[in-house]
């Protein structure tokens, strides 16, 4: 079973009604302004004993090839919750690294770590249109293809003691809000 993606139904809105995605349309990658997040969402994650560790916005132009990468240098289990705005018919693709191939470690313009892979160093294993919101495994090489403008707000959580969560841990915490078993 490939377990890289779980759609979620959350009981609260993530962003405030006043959220203006156009302010994130002048760069590929920006930190999310934390004041864009609804108070209800902060209360929701507080009640789950979680802390929002990181929130960023990836803005994708239509039909651009964005490089295959995995987030982080040393982690291969790095779950995120992504909220997607626009991006109709977009796909998130996950890949297996071919034997003996290594990516190139680097940092984004907002100083987040990633390892980039060439297309011929990996094999596609799973491709999925991402409904918003979703748990996604960002520790496995991935990229997104989209025929439309797409904003993906990507969020990372820790425990109250600032411990990053594994995929299994976060899936368990969000189990009541996941409809994965219905797929
Ligand atoms: Fe990523």
What confidence tens digit (pLDDT) does each residue in 98-118 have? 999 999 999 998 999 999 999
pLDDT at 183: 46
Question: 131 CA to middle of ligand 1, Å?
Answer: 16
pLDDT of amino acid 180: 64
Q: Which residues of 112-141 are buried (b: 16+ CB within 10 A; e: fewer)?
A: bbbbebeeebbeeebebebebbbbbbbbbb
CATH T-level assignment (fold) for domain 5-182: Jelly Rolls (2.60.120)
CA–centroid distance, 12 to ligand 1, in Å, is: 25
pLDDT band of residue 9 (cuts 50, 70, 90) is very high
Q: Which residues surround ligand 1, an ion (CB under 5 A)?
A: 71, 138
Ligand 1 mean position, distance from CA 71 (Å): 5
Distance 20 CA to ligand 1 centre (A): 23
Q: How far is the CA of 136 from the centre of ligand 1 (A)?
A: 9
């Amino acid at each position: 079973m490939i377990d890289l993606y779980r759609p979620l139904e959350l009981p609260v809105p993530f962003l405030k009604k006043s959220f203006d995605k156009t302010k994130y349309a002048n760069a590929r990658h920006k930190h999310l302004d934390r004041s864009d997040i609804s108070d209800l969402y902060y209360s929701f994650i507080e009640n789950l004993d979680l802390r929002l560790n990181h929130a960023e916005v990836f803005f994708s132009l239509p039909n651009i090839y964005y490089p295959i990468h995995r987030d982080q240098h040393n982690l291969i289990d790095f779950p995120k919750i992504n909220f997607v705005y626009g991006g109709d018919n977009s796909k998130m693709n996950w890949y297996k690294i071919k034997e003996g191939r290594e990516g190139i470690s680097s940092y984004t313009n907002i100083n987040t770590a990633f390892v980039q892979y060439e297309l011929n160093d990996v094999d596609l294993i799973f491709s999925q249109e991402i409904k918003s919101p979703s748990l996604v495994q960002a520790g496995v090489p991935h990229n997104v293809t989209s025929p439309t403008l797409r904003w993906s707000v990507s969020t990372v959580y820790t425990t109250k003691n600032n411990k990053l969560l594994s995929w299994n841990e976060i899936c368990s915490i969000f189990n009541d809000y996941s409809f994965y078993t219905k797929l």
